[in-house]
Structure 1
């Protein structure tokens, strides 16, 4: 089996020594080539070239951004999951939502051991993906407040701050109370054959659960989301303090069940469109992608083979 290991050298939980250990371990099972990312979007190009070259497996060592880029590269090769290289994910970021969602342990060494065992047993899992316009995502997307928080965190990281649950929490509180425009909700959700849902303040889209983690605690706006179903949506109709605080408490609960007259919850959607009356912050798999006024979402079933 031919494999490509895509390494983000800025991965926060690994060192050069640990990467060397991983490379030796993988080479005991596969014919391995190693490539290091040098810029944003590089993992997409590396995975796309690997697919075109007939590589059987792409392994990523990095966070959710590296995974997302690699997935988008792999989806350019072949029209079915069996015609594309498989994907294995070694957790190397600060949160690793996707790796944890497919059952990988948080520690990179334990994750590598699990991948080696799966390769020996030829154990794969086929999952569905989401697509926002022309870009695929593995676990979540957001238009509005959560994307604004992601943008704020990215700015802090560029200033040298370390990505931690505390940084995300402080950023969320600062964004909500100091920056967010709470009046005149600007977003509309449109579905084929249904009346539009108007006056939405912020929208979260999930391809699986959880949406993210706050340390060890899963955060679950759409607890029924799954790789085996369509896309789930949770939207807030307003961002007033009492209702927003109540919703935050609900999604952080041990058995989350967000509900209330100010919440829109939709399950297993195949396709829908979000429109805004002005450009609004947009994120995909935890990466800020700028501001958008319109995004078309699709659920792509049986899209990718995962080693896990």
Structure 2
């Protein structure tokens, strides 16, 4: 089998020696080409070239969720076609690795490589659904190109947290869970709109859900991890369905205490709930629109400010080795 290994040399949790070991292990079973990313968006370009070549059967992403997101967007540049596109495999190398862990893969690069080789030998794979986000026609954001996401997107508060974390990473700080927690608190203290939201959720045939402060779109559960603790914003979200949404209409101090506790104690059976919480399951198409421009993120990548984003849940978008 001809495969392309896309390596992010800046991945948080792997060293050059570890990467060399992984490359040697994969090359023993595959006709392996290796490409290291050199700039933002390079993994996307490599994924697109692999899809267009017609020769590559498998693309392996070695890196964090950002690297995986870029590879997926490259593979699906011309749209989803699970039977024709190369299959995707993931070797986690980032700080959180939500997508890989949601697939049931070990959160250790060497163990995940062994699991990948076992899956290839046994022919174990699955087809997963993905989310697609694009600028809404007729709005100032209509020219924003569509982009796929694997596990989550956020509009508003949580995207602001992601933006703060990225600012620290650009200054050389390492991405850690403690850094995220600190930025959550700073975003909470510095957000003037946390008690009265500006976001409305529109979906065909339904009354809009208005005045949301926070909107989290989930393609799977868990939503994220704090260390080894899974956090479920939308427990029913699944790679086999369309998209789920958690919206909060208040982030007052009592509301944050309530919903923060619920997130930390969430489980596959129970997520955030209460009078300020809105949970929607298996949505195929909807739009999040804000009266003011707000931060937007996908798979942990801050994408700037948006006023309106239209989402599509696409079932059976890509084949993944598991």
Task: Return the match for 2:263 from 232, 246, 251.
Answer: 251
Change (3 A) 1:237 1:7: same
1:140–1:284 CA contact under 8 A, matched in 2: yes
Deviations 1:55-84 (A, max 9, x none): 100001100000000000111256420110
What is the rounded CA distance, in whole Å, between the counterparts of 1:120 and 1:91 in structure 2? 20
What is the rounded CA distance, in whole Å, between the counterparts of 2:80 and 2:256 in structure 1? 42
Secondary structure at 1:35 match in 2:
strand
Mapped pair 1:192 → 2:204: yes
- Give the superposition deviation at 1:13: 1.1
Is 251-260 or 116-125 further displaced after alignment? Answer: 251-260
Q: For residue 83 of structure 2, what is the aligned residue in structure 1?
A: 82
- Give the superposition deviation at 1:254: 4.7
- The number of equivalent residue pairs is 308
- Give the superposition deviation at 1:95: 0.5
What is the rounded CA distance, in whole Å, between the counterparts of 1:111 and 1:294 in structure 2? 38
Q: For residue 154 of structure 1, what is the aligned residue in structure 2?
A: 166
What is the rounded CA distance, in whole Å, between the counterparts of 2:187 and 2:247 in structure 1? 18
2:218–2:244 CA contact under 8 A, matched in 1: yes
- Give the superposition deviation at 1:252: 1.4
Q: For residue 61 of structure 1, what is the aligned residue in structure 2?
A: 62
Q: For residue 313 of structure 2, what is the aligned residue in structure 1?
A: 299
Q: For residue 115 of structure 2, what is the aligned residue in structure 1?
A: 114
1:144–1:281 CA contact under 8 A, matched in 2: yes
1:52–1:77 CA contact under 8 A, matched in 2: no
Q: For residue 212 of structure 1, what is the aligned residue in structure 2?
A: 224
Mapped pair 1:286 → 2:300: yes
Equivalent residue runs for 1:213-252 within 5 Å:
213-252=225-264
Secondary structure at 1:181 match in 2:
coil
What's the RMSD between the two structures over aligned residues? 1.1
What is the rounded CA distance, in whole Å, between the counterparts of 2:312 and 2:109 in structure 1? 32
Is 298-307 or 245-254 further displaced after alignment? Answer: 245-254
Secondary structure at 1:82 match in 2:
coil
Mapped pair 1:25 → 2:39: no
Q: For residue 51 of structure 2, what is the aligned residue in structure 1?
A: 51
Deviations 1:130-162 (A, max 9, x none): 011110000000001110000001111111111
Change (3 A) 1:260 1:254: closer
- Give the superposition deviation at 1:248: 1.1
Secondary structure at 2:178 match in 1:
helix
Q: For residue 99 of structure 2, what is the aligned residue in structure 1?
A: 98
1:77–1:83 CA contact under 8 A, matched in 2: no
TM-score (norm 2): 0.94
What is the rounded CA distance, in whole Å, between the counterparts of 1:271 and 1:24 in structure 2? 43
Secondary structure at 1:81 match in 2:
coil
1:123–1:307 CA contact under 8 A, matched in 2: yes
Structure 2, unpaired ranges of 5+ = 135-145
